[in-house]
Amino acid sequence: MTTSEGGDYAHLSAKTRGALSLSDVERIRFIRAGTWITLDYVKNILEQLEDLRTHPRVARMPCMLLVGAPFSGKTSLLEHFRDLHPPDLDPESQTTTCEVLMIEAPPKPDISDFYSSILDALMAPYKPTAPAHEKRSQVKRLFAQVGVKVLIVDEIHHLIAGSLNRQREFRNALKSLGNETKVSIVAAGIEEAYNAFNADAQMSSRFKPYDLPRWSIGPKLGVLLKTLESRTPLKRASGLHSPGMMTAIHARSESSLGDICDLVKEAGVKAIRTGEESITLTLLDELNWVPPSKRKGHQRFAV
């Protein structure tokens, strides 16, 4: 296989070159499956999460607040950390260890639902109508039994979206759970979560904040785009890291990491379907892509 310029697909990684022999349908599946990309700031956060997991149990366990705009990669990062530490079943003792537990905050600020989400994640039987204090006691027992060290609560802003009294109630419940179980808690959400935590001196001092950056035009974005291109099995080079392409992708994705990755994926799919085999400025212009800022009010029209 050679490129139109007679090269050897130098724009692709070795693994991606192998995908060129797949059918168009399989190449599209390859693109949409995506791959994990290790970024410098992500490595730093993963190291901090690992420090929480290995931290000795003390009276005041360290915690983290991960803040970022929607689709900035919070959930993917946290899921990656969780997957690095899956539950471990000891066949001899028939006991399970679960050091890292991840839940998504329930859609409404309800403490009972919060405990139910934890019990669901632990696959523990419980009575849904049981009062919150009973579920809390069960959670505490199970944390001790399975050895939970880190509790990740994604979309934390859902639980602090209620009245000031509701917010205070949840913050107190979170502090109490951490204090009594000696578990480090990682909360992740949008900027509103930071504001709510900052309103409580104890929470702001305990939950060390980490901000996920928005991407700007420059060398770091160029490296990211070059990496994405190397993992997109197209037969012709696209030069995504070139100034013109970088500017166009940055504008259409509105600097969101998730949208940058998805935009390149969808452009790659179209490049295969059209037979163009590279992502061009014209292809980006013609792509059916709704920018993040316009999605909320986007309307679909029948044809």
Same domain, 81 and 141: yes
Helix (H) or strand (E) holding 187: strand 184-189
Collapsing DSSP to helix, strand or coil, 1 comes out as: coil
| pLDDT at residue number 93 | 60
Last residue of a domain, one of 199, 233, 257: 199
Question: For the stretch 119-136, what's the b/e string if a residue is b when 16 or more beta carbons lie within 10 angstroms of its beta carbon?
Answer: bebbeeebeeebebeebb
Examine residue 21 and state whether it is found in any structural domain, yes or no: yes
* C-beta atoms surrounding 163 within 10 Å: 9
| pLDDT at residue number 121 | 95
Q: Compute the residue count for the chain.
A: 303
Last residue of a domain, one of 172, 199, 226: 199
Same domain, 44 and 86: yes
| Residue with token string 């599946």 | 29
The pLDDT tens digits for 35-56 are: 888 899 999 999 999 999 999 9
The pLDDT tens digits for 195-213 are: 878 878 888 888 999 999 8
Same domain, 172 and 219: no
Percent of the chain clearing pLDDT 70 (strictly above): 93
The pLDDT tens digits for 209-265 are: 999 988 999 999 999 999 999 999 999 999 999 999 999 999 999 988 999 999 999
- Closest residue by Cα to residue 113 from 169, 60, 185, 71: 169
Rounded distance, CA 254 to CA 292, Å? 7
Same domain, 64 and 173: yes
Q: What are the counts of helices (DSSP H) followed by strands (DSSP E) for the chain?
A: 14, 7
Q: What is the CATH number of the domain that holds 51?
A: 3.40.50.300
- Closest residue by Cα to residue 186 from 208, 211, 217, 153: 153
| pLDDT at residue number 297 | 54
Same domain, 62 and 155: yes
Last residue of a domain, one of 166, 199, 232: 199
Same domain, 47 and 168: yes
Q: How confident is the model at residue 183 (pLDDT cuts 50, 70, 90)?
A: very high
Same domain, 284 and 173: no
Examine residue 158 and state whether it is found in any structural domain, yes or no: yes
The domain containing residue 138 runs over which residues?
40-199
| pLDDT at residue number 5 | 42
| Residue with token string 């909320």 | 296
Q: Return mean pLDDT, the chain.
A: 89
Same domain, 171 and 65: yes
Examine residue 299 and state whether it is found in any structural domain, yes or no: no
Same domain, 129 and 242: no
Residues 6+ positions from 201 with CB-CB distance below 8 Å? none
Beta bridge partners of 95: 90
- Long-range contacts: 20-25, Cβ < 8 Å, 24+? 20/233, 20/235, 22/233, 24/272, 24/273
Examine residue 5 and state whether it is found in any structural domain, yes or no: no
Q: Is the pTM of this model over 0.75?
A: yes
Same domain, 183 and 52: yes
Examine residue 106 and state whether it is found in any structural domain, yes or no: yes
Rounded distance, CA 193 to CA 65, Å? 8
The pLDDT tens digits for 63-113 are: 999 999 888 889 999 999 999 999 987 766 667 899 999 999 888 888 999
Same domain, 181 and 81: yes
Beta bridge partners of 184: 150
Examine residue 138 and state whether it is found in any structural domain, yes or no: yes
Residue type, 22: L
Q: What is the DSSP letter of 9?
A: -
Decide if pLDDT at 14 tops 70: yes
Examine residue 207 and state whether it is found in any structural domain, yes or no: no
- Total domains, the chain: 2
Same domain, 248 and 129: no
Examine residue 303 and state whether it is found in any structural domain, yes or no: no
Q: Which two tokens stand for residue 168?
A: 């205070």
